Amino acid sequence: MNEHTNHLADETSPYLLQHRHNPVNWHPWGDEALTRAREEDKPIFLSIGYSACHWCHVMERESFESGETAAVLNEHFVSIKVDREERPDLDAIYMEAVQMMTGQGGWPMSMFLLPDLRPFFGGTYFPPDDRYGRPGFRSLLLRLAEIYRTRRGELEENAGKLTGSMREMSGAAPLAGGFSQESIARAANELSDRFDSSWGGFGQAPKFPPSVALMLLLREWRRGGNADHLAMVEFTLQRMALGGMYDQLGGGFHRYSVDPYWLVPHFEKMLYDNALLARVYLEAHQATGSTFYRSVATDTLDYVLREMTSTEGGFYSAQDADSEGEEGKFFVWTLDEAEAVLEPEDARIFCAFYDITEEGNFEGKSILRIQRAPNQFCEEEEIGQDELLEVLERSRQKMFAVREKRIKPGLDDKVLTSWNGLMIGAMALAGRITGEESYLEAGRRAADFVLTRMRGESGLLRTHRAGVSRLNAYLDDYAFMMMGLVDLYETSFEVRWLDAAASLAREAIDRYWDEREGGFFFTSNDHEELIVRKKISQDGAIPSGNSVAALSLLRLGKLTGDDALSERGAETIRAFGQYIERAPAAFHMMLVALDFYLDEPMEIAVVGDPGEEDTQAALRAVNAEFVPNKVLAFRPASGGGDLEKKVPLLEGKITVNGAAAVYLCRNYACELPITDAGEVRERLRPAGGRE
């Protein structure tokens, strides 16, 4: 029997429910808590985190489960707990405030607000007592409560200045002139300057997976042929996939590496990371032909299908870092544990290959990683490659089966519209490139789930859990779903996905577009009023909604022939043009959209009988090559009519003497149709590209 139950008990967020029995009198964000703060004239303690956040759990154990600390909070503050994944609007506003105050940010976010919601003090994790160079949380609370009582005017003044600065920074900065490739080249050069030639990635530890940066470099390589750009991408992808940040047994990537070597991760697995990484590994496979990148991508998506997919089709949000109260416990091994599972000779080979040792590489245990290439390993260990592969395959199966019996990390089983859009796109792309129907079908099911189960009266909703969909959608929800639906169309050629994407695009323009300065607000015009209405253009852990909206609108405009959508996409990029010119490294996804816009994207139409081998060969040829700046449409040889009205690119396209034909077009001006799959690949291959 729990002694305490607070106002979070009726929430659906797994993160909020984790705190429902804290002695802190938590409230969810809403009218009840905000009204209480105003009526009682108390400051608000706003704590923002997420279910897979390790330090969020630490602060809960140390402070929020402490009766003494809870007594201070309950007496002097109105305490509000927010899941940043449910309310990214609040997270974005107050994270910016924390960063302006302290020069850094992170989670848990600990913010103190006046009753009118303006911030006056903030930080991230606070220990219960003075340590790590941080004030103890309980003493901090008492000090802030005293300042609130005795120096209220000073707090009001400082909060006013901070909020004013945040409002000034939330606008657009339109570009007066035209676009150029210069910003893209500068961003690529900055990445080159920061590249870690020893371990891959950019900058120092901690290292986060640089998915969108790698996508941008692939596009720069495709256009300019600079081999260094491709080499940076490949080296980084290889190092990440061979290190401990990648789950060598179960597939999928952990959140980030705490060291420069991609060895020790923060062990949580996030849906958005795995969607973005699967996409860039698939693109690298197209660019190089390497089956290694394809296998990493498919193993990652197989993990998502196995662990992160609901029976209804939606994709879950995250898997925790902790199990049994210990970070990484589910994923690490001792030498004795491995030897108890495997036959002696298999254990010797497996442990040598994956660096499982007596001393370990992480707190006395071993995180599986690969330090030697298979051919080098075989030479040094005097074993044939076929034998090595057989040993590793049967050993992985045994080790995985034993690991499955351990207590698993917690699962955040809420479904978020935006992150589902990212994963829908990754699944669709995998289906297109690999030909595996299971990935396409997973994308279809998730899209159907979001479009039918996660809609309200005015549009998309943000989150679904336990049979309940709630909270107004944000720009990211619309933008990422638009992208995923276009990907679904270009894989399945079911026009319903194109119709749905175009419908979402028009809803987004109606509800989020800034008619005065251009670009999209993060919140809709019927959203609750907050201290700032932000317009987010810079990439964070996920690409910005404005950048993905820009790219999606440009693609939709090309496919549907709706120039108004294309122009909105261009206007979105233009709205942030001055920011992009000043700091291109903060806008990698916007630069991906700009690259699409400037490149005169290729329009590819394929016509043929879907059941015939020549048609499938034509589609395989198109999908085998890395041509990021393109749109793709298909018309069955025996059909047309209404399809041509929805996809003008298909108008007048026919087979050639009954054979499947590929039309390569720019600005709807098409070359002669091609019927030979080999010639299609040759025409799509970049100058100086792979053989």
Per-10-residue mean pLDDT, the chain, length 691: 83 94 97 97 97 90 95 97 96 94 92 96 92 84 96 94 88 79 94 97 95 98 95 98 98 96 95 98 98 98 98 97 90 97 96 97 96 94 94 97 96 97 98 97 98 95 96 97 98 97 98 95 95 93 97 97 96 94 94 95 96 96 97 88 88 93 94 96 78 44
Q: Residue 33 domain-assigned?
A: yes
Q: Is residue 548 part of a domain?
A: yes
Task: Give the whole-angstrom CA distance, residue 472 versus residue 458.
Answer: 9
Last residue of a domain, one of 371, 403, 435: 403
C-alpha 680/C-alpha 682 separation (Å) is: 5
The CA distance from 63 to 51, in Å, is 17
Cα R_g (the chain), whole angstroms: 26
pLDDT of the residue at 284: 98
In the chain, the number of structural domains is 4
**Cis preceding-peptide flag for 88 (omega within 30 of 0):** no
Calculate the alpha carbon distances from 509 to 286, 555, 592 in Å: 33, 15, 21
CA distances from 613 to 416, 610, 639 (A): 39, 8, 18
Cα atoms in the Cβ-side hemisphere of radius 13 Å centred on 650: 23
CA atoms within 13 A on the CB side of 37: 25
- 109: its two tokens: 């976010």
User: pTM of the full predicted structure?
Assistant: 0.94
pLDDT computed for residue 172 by the predictor: 73
153 CB burial (10 A radius; 0-12, 13-18, 19+): exposed
The verdict on 420 and 553 lying in the same domain is yes
Same domain, residue pair 385 and 500: no
- Structural domain contains residue 580: yes
Same domain as 606, residue 594? no
669 within a domain of the structure (yes/no)? yes
Task: Choose among 50, 51, 70, 80: nearest CA to 128.
Answer: 70
Q: Which residues, 6+ apart, have CB-to-CB distance to 148 below 8 Å?
A: 43, 76, 155
CATH number, domain with residue 231: 1.50.10.10
Phi and psi, residue 488, nearest 5°: -65, -40
Q: Which domain holds residue 399?
A: 331-403
CB 395 within 8 A of CB 342: yes
Task: State both tokens at 163.
Answer: 């909020």
**Same domain, residue pair 457 and 538:** yes
Q: Do 425 and 482 belong to one domain?
A: yes
Strand ranges (E), 251-328: 256-257, 265-266, 269-270, 316-319, 322-323, 326-327
Positive or negative torsion for Cα 164, 165, 166, 170:
positive
Residue type, 420: N
CB–CB of 548/483 below 8 Å?
Answer: yes
Q: Phi-psi region for residue 251, left (φ > 0), alpha (ψ -120 to 50) or beta?
A: left
| Contact between residue 562 and residue 509 where contact means Cβ atoms under 8 Å apart | no
* Residue 6 within a domain: no
Return the structure tokens found at 528: 């609750």
Euclidean distance between CA atoms 8 and 16, whole angstroms: 6
Q: Specify whether 424 is located in the same domain as 522.
A: yes
Could you tell me if 56 and 194 lie in one domain?
no
pLDDT number for residue 177? 76
CATH of the domain at 121: 3.40.30.10
Give the H or E element holding residue 602. Answer: strand 602-608
449 and 495 part of one domain = yes
Q: Is residue 174 part of a domain?
A: no
At residue 691, the pLDDT reads 44
Letter string b/e over residues 259-278, b meaning 16 or more CB atoms within 10 A of that residue's CB? bbbbbbbbbbbbbbbbbbbb
Instruction: Indicate the DSSP class of residue 133.
Output: T
For the chain, percent helix, then strand, then coil, each to nearest 5? 50, 15, 35
* Nearest of 40, 49, 11, 4 to residue 25 by alpha carbon: 4
**Helical H segments across 151-181, by residue range:** 152-169
Please state, in angstroms and rounded to a whole number, the distance separating the CA atoms of residues 356 and 249: 13
The CA–CA distances, whole Å, from 407 to 270, 330, 331, 411, 609 equal 19, 7, 11, 12, 50
Q: Are 470 and 341 in contact (CB under 8 A)?
A: no
Q: Which two tokens stand for residue 289?
A: 């032909």
Q: Give the C-alpha separation, 420 to 460, whole Å.
A: 13
Residues 316 and 387 in one domain: no
| Residue 689 maps to a domain | no
- DSSP string across 181-211: SHHHHHHHHHHHHHB-TTT-SBSSSSB---H
User: Which is nearest to 277 in space by CA: 208, 219, 191, 333?
Assistant: 208
Size of the chain, expressed as the number of residues it contains: 691
Residue 607 sits in a domain of what CATH number? 3.40.30
Cα gap 646→660, rounded to integer Å? 21
Q: Which of 403, 428, 454 is the last residue of a domain?
A: 403
Short-list 172, 54, 212, 92, CA closest to 542: 212
User: Where does residue 324 rank: exposed (0-12), middle (13-18), buried (19+ CB within 10 A)?
Assistant: exposed
- Considering the domain architecture, whether residues 50 and 29 belong to the same structural domain is answered as yes
* Residue 49, H or E segment: strand 44-49
CA 232 to chain centroid: 21
Are 277 and 337 members of one domain?
no
Domain C-terminal end among 339, 370, 403: 403
Neighbours of 363 (CB within 10 A): 12
Q: Count of CB atoms within 10 A of residue 157's CB?
A: 12
Flag whether 691 is in a domain: no
Q: Confirm if 113 and 47 have CB atoms less than 8 A apart.
A: no
Asked if residue 396 and residue 316 are part of one domain, the reply reads no
Beta carbons within 8 Å of 242's beta carbon, 6+ residues apart: 262, 369, 370, 371
Alpha helix stretches (DSSP H) within 289-384: 291-307, 335-341, 344-354, 374-381
The tokens of 483 are what? 């992208």
pLDDT at 2: 65
DSSP, res 529: P
